[in-house]
Amino acid sequence: MMRPMLVYAGIDEAGYGPMLGPLCVACSVLTIEDHDPETGPCDLWKRLAKAVCRKRTDSRKRIAIDDSKKLKGARDGSVHPLRFLERGVLSFLHAIDSNLDHCSCDHEYLSRVGAHGGERPWYGSQTHLPVGLTGDELRIAAGRLRQTLSDQKIRCVSLRCETIDAGEFNQQVDRMGTKSNVNFCAALRHIDAIWKRWPTEHPRVMVDRQGGRTHYLNDLMLAWPDAEAQVLCETPLLSRYRLRRGDSWLTVSFQVEAEQAHLPVALASMTAKYTRELLMIRLNRFFHALMPELKPTAGYVEDGRRYVADIEPLIAQLGLSRTDLIRSV
């Protein structure tokens, strides 16, 4: 007799609003043994409390897992702004395969999460990792997490991030009409990969609410036209659907502030943000090398406009494509 197992996944994005840098849509998948999927997701913060918490700072030195906006630090803070994001993401990434060494540079990290910086010249450099803590600190955190996961019969089985840079983003907006469609289709690709990998396990996938939308049934039926789809609920806070193809089932939920209710979504949020930040380090490094007085940018619209105005001479001098560098919307 097969033992029950819950496949519990979360999807979230970072970089939806900026005018520079990539949109990053990430997905984390954890499995919980001896957990009946029909009872629904469990509180992984509680199950993994020996190793993880929600707070940035913790007297027990546990790993903070929360919405990435709460964990990214200020540029002028007392610790590196990526310290808490990096500690959480790299610890869980190492938990997937403890036989692999920690990523020593961002190229290795991007490869392991399935992301890429594209072939644009502003993404040509590499960054040594970790950037916000020491290798020893990371090994201790990862070891503690691995032991706690093992004790709880929980595995982190996948941590992936799709990156859509400005040029590709602009092309997809032209094809799909809106940037929300670009973001939603990236989430659908993650969901499809999960369903294909675990077709007999009835995965539960939690997605952070896509803007103010509450109705997703038509889009899900377009994505999987051979599936039967059922609306379980559609409320201002939660939209949930169950899909079936033969004997294969999938439940997808779109929830407001899902990263507060589901650890896999919080971990996806952190992965998306960490990936984007590493690529923005590369972008800033490229232009800073050519213009040392240039102040770095996070790429969001107000400061992004300042940055683009500052580098206008470089864009012209190097013959850079504006549509490859700057988003249209």
Residue 195 · residue 219 · CB < 8 Å: no
Name the band, by pLDDT with cuts 50, 70 and 90, for residue 322: very high
209 versus 298: the higher-pLDDT residue is: 298
Residues 6+ apart with CB under 8 A from 320: 121, 314
Give the model's confidence band at 35: pLDDT under 50 very low, under 70 low, under 90 confident, else very high.
confident
pLDDT score at 101: 65
Give the number of domains in the chain.
1
pLDDT at 30 over 50: yes
Residue 327, amino acid: R
Residues 6+ apart with CB under 8 A from 49: 62
Inform me whether the pLDDT recorded for 126 exceeds 70.
yes
Q: In what order do the strands lie in the sheet with 228-234?
A: 154-164, 23-33, 5-14, 204-208, 248-255, 238-245, 228-234
pLDDT tens readout for residues 68-124? 999 998 877 778 999 999 999 999 999 997 666 668 899 999 999 999 877 899 999
How far the first Cα of the chain sits from its last, in Å, is 53
Are 117 and 110 contacting, i.e. CB atoms less than 8 angstroms apart?
yes
Residue 139 domain flag: yes
In the numeric block, which tokens belong to residue 28?
């984390």
What pLDDT does 1 receive? 46
- Domain-embedded: residue 192: no
Is 161 part of any domain?
Answer: yes
CA-to-CA distance for 202 and 137, rounded, in angstroms? 37
Mean pLDDT of all residues belonging to the chain: 93
* Torsion (CA) 116, 328, 287, 186 in degrees, nearest 10: -20
Please provide residue 178's backbone torsions phi and psi, each rounded to the nearest 5 degrees.
Answer: -140, 160
Q: Do residues 159 and 275 touch, judged by C-beta distance below 8 A?
A: no
- Say if residue 318's pLDDT is above 50: yes
The predicted structure's pLDDT at residue 210:
72
Residue 34 pLDDT exceeds 90 = no
The angle subtended at Cα 253 by Cα 154 and Cα 228, nearest 5°, is: 110
Count how many residues are written for the chain.
329
In a domain, 281, yes or no: yes
How does strand 23-33 pair with strand 5-14? antiparallel
State yes or no: pLDDT of 276 exceeds 90.
yes
In a domain, 299, yes or no: yes
The answer to whether 173 and 222 have CB atoms below 8 angstroms apart is no
- The counts of H helices and E strands in the chain are 12, 9
pLDDT band at 215 (very low <50, low <70, confident <90, very high): very high
Q: Looking at residue 117, what is its pLDDT? A: 72
193 within some domain: no
Q: Residue 2's pLDDT is what?
A: 57
Domain for residue 194, yes or no? no
Q: What is the pLDDT of residues 216-254, one digit of tens each?
A: 999 999 999 999 999 999 999 999 999 999 999 999 999
Give, to the nearest 10 degrees, the angle between helix 263-290 and helix 83-96.
120
b/e map 263-296, b = 16+ CB within 10 Å: bbbbbbbbbbbbbbbbbbbbbbbbbeeeeeeeee
Residue 217 lies in a domain: no
The model's pTM? 0.96
Q: For residue 51, is pLDDT > 80?
A: yes
* Residue closest to 28 by CA, chosen among 267, 205, 194: 267
Percentage of the chain surpassing pLDDT 90?
Answer: 86
Q: What angle do CA 249, 251, 254 make, to 5 degrees?
A: 160
Instruction: Reply yes or no: is the peptide bond before residue 130 cis, omega within 30 of 0.
Output: yes
Domain boundaries, position 61: 5-172+265-325
Grade residue 42 by pLDDT with cuts at 50, 70 and 90: confident
Question: Is the model's pLDDT at 181 over the cut of 80?
Answer: yes
Q: Tell me, what's the pLDDT at 113?
A: 96
- pLDDT tens across 266-275, in order? 999 999 999 9
**How confident is the model at residue 74, as a pLDDT?**
82
